[in-house]
Structure 1
Amino acid sequence: MYPYLRYTKSIVDAVIANKKGHSLDFADTSAVDIRCSVTDIDPMMEMNNGRILTVYDIGRTDFIIRTGLGRRLLKNRWSMVVAGSTIQYRKRIRLLDKVTIKTHIVAIDERWIYLEHSMWVKGKPCSSTLLRTGVTAKGRVIETKRVLEAMGKSGWEMPPTGYVKEWIESDTHRPWPPVA
């Protein structure tokens, strides 16, 4: 089941943080602490890999709200969509571990905003995911130029480089499953 209560709390916390002056710039990194709960673990007594992706929603939402993007989404009747992801796992997250979720933008191209999330326990990285995200209007992904203008970041550039560029390139070669 989706963690609606935890997610709602994270929204309230982000709004309060903004009101207290803890807003973020688009170039900043968001950090949110959660506790691995009994609803997060699998039979191996560690945070389930699917739950990790779900919990990353909390980090992304905090980032969206605290950068002011959330206000722009609401004002313009835009939405945000995840169009692709890749993830790596390095260390298990156990029941009751305090987890810090970090979120930041690693690249922007004409259409997509690439976000990186990571989870940390006791200062050690546990997992990291790279997301291809887009802002949509009326069900269509809009140019990031429009998003940046709405954010007061006209001319701000962060083109894909390194592993992000390599992932984008390799993803173009990935075939879709055949139609049955």
Structure 2
Amino acid sequence: MYPFLRLANEFREHRNAAPLPITGTHVSHHRCWPWDLDIWRELNNGRTLTLLDLGRLPLARRMGLIDTLRREGWGLTMAGVSVRYRRRVRVFDRIEMKSRLLGWDERFFYIEQGMWVRGTCANHALYRAAVTDETGLLAPVRVAAAMGVAGSPDLPGWVAAWIAAEAERPWPPMDGA
């Protein structure tokens, strides 16, 4: 089940946090609970993606994106993710999550997130996100302008390489035949 109560708690906890600049870093703290575990007694990889929501959504609020989405009647969707899992996250581990927007291109916003346990990065994710209206995807430059932001920061080389690799990936994927 989606952790609605945890998400509500994140919004409550950060309700008075200062607004962030468009590329500011949102830092939040979480706990790995028994219901977050897989059969190997570590944070389930799918649950990791769900917990990353708990950093991205408050980041979006602090940047002013959520207010813009509400004002314009737009939606937000995730359009892809690449995750590196490097260290185990065990039951009751305290997680420090860092979330930030890296920039955007013609179609997507790119968000970097990491989970840190005892000072070591346990996993790292690169998301691409899209803002939508009833006609489909909106150009990020239009969304940024509605937020009062002009121009994307330069995307790091590793992000540009990921974008290029994703462009080579076949869609729709093979059907297994």
Q: Which of the five TM-score ranges fits, normalised by the shorter chain?
A: over 0.9
1:159 is displaced (CA, Å) by 3.4
1:139 is displaced (CA, Å) by 5.0
CA contact (8 A) 2:30 2:95 kept: yes
Deviations 1:108-164 (A, max 9, x none): 11221100110001111000010111111115110111111111112x222333110
CA contact (8 A) 2:23 2:103 kept: no
> For residue 6 of structure 1, what is the aligned residue in structure 2?
6
User: Using the alignment, how far apart are the partners of 1:100 and 1:81 within structure 2?
Assistant: 24
- 1:18-167 matches, cutoff 5 A: 18=17, 22-154=18-150, 156-167=151-162
Deviates more, 1:131-140 or 1:156-165: 156-165
User: Using the alignment, how far apart are the partners of 1:81 and 1:98 within structure 2?
Assistant: 28
- Alignment partner of 1:177 is 2:173: yes
1:17 is displaced (CA, Å) by 2.3
Secondary structure of the equivalent of 2:36? coil
1:169 is displaced (CA, Å) by 0.5
Q: Given residue 166 of structure 1, which amino acid in structure 2 is its aligned partner?
A: A
1:172 is displaced (CA, Å) by 1.2
User: Using the alignment, how far apart are the partners of 1:4 and 1:159 within structure 2?
Assistant: 34
Q: In percent, how many aligned pairs have the same letter?
A: 34
1:87 is displaced (CA, Å) by 0.5
* Count of aligned positions: 175
CA contact (8 A) 2:112 2:127 kept: yes
- Output the aligned Cα RMSD: 1.4
Q: Given residue 17 of structure 1, which amino acid in structure 2 is its aligned partner?
A: N
After the TM superposition, which parts of structure 1 deviate over 4 Å for at least 4 consecutive aligned residues?
none
1:70 is displaced (CA, Å) by 0.7
CA contact (8 A) 1:17 1:66 kept: no
Secondary structure of the equivalent of 1:61? helix
CA contact (8 A) 1:136 1:142 kept: yes
Secondary structure of the equivalent of 1:110? coil
CA contact (8 A) 1:114 1:130 kept: yes
Secondary structure of the equivalent of 1:39? helix
User: Using the alignment, how far apart are the partners of 1:88 and 1:139 within structure 2?
Assistant: 33
Q: Given residue 131 of structure 2, which amino acid in structure 1 is its aligned partner?
A: V
Q: Given residue 147 of structure 1, which amino acid in structure 2 is its aligned partner?
A: V
Point out where structure 1 has 5 or more consecutive residues left out of the alignment: none
User: Using the alignment, how far apart are the partners of 2:112 and 2:156 within structure 1?
Assistant: 13
User: Using the alignment, how far apart are the partners of 2:149 and 2:49 within structure 1?
Assistant: 29
Q: TM-score, normalised by structure 2?
A: 0.93
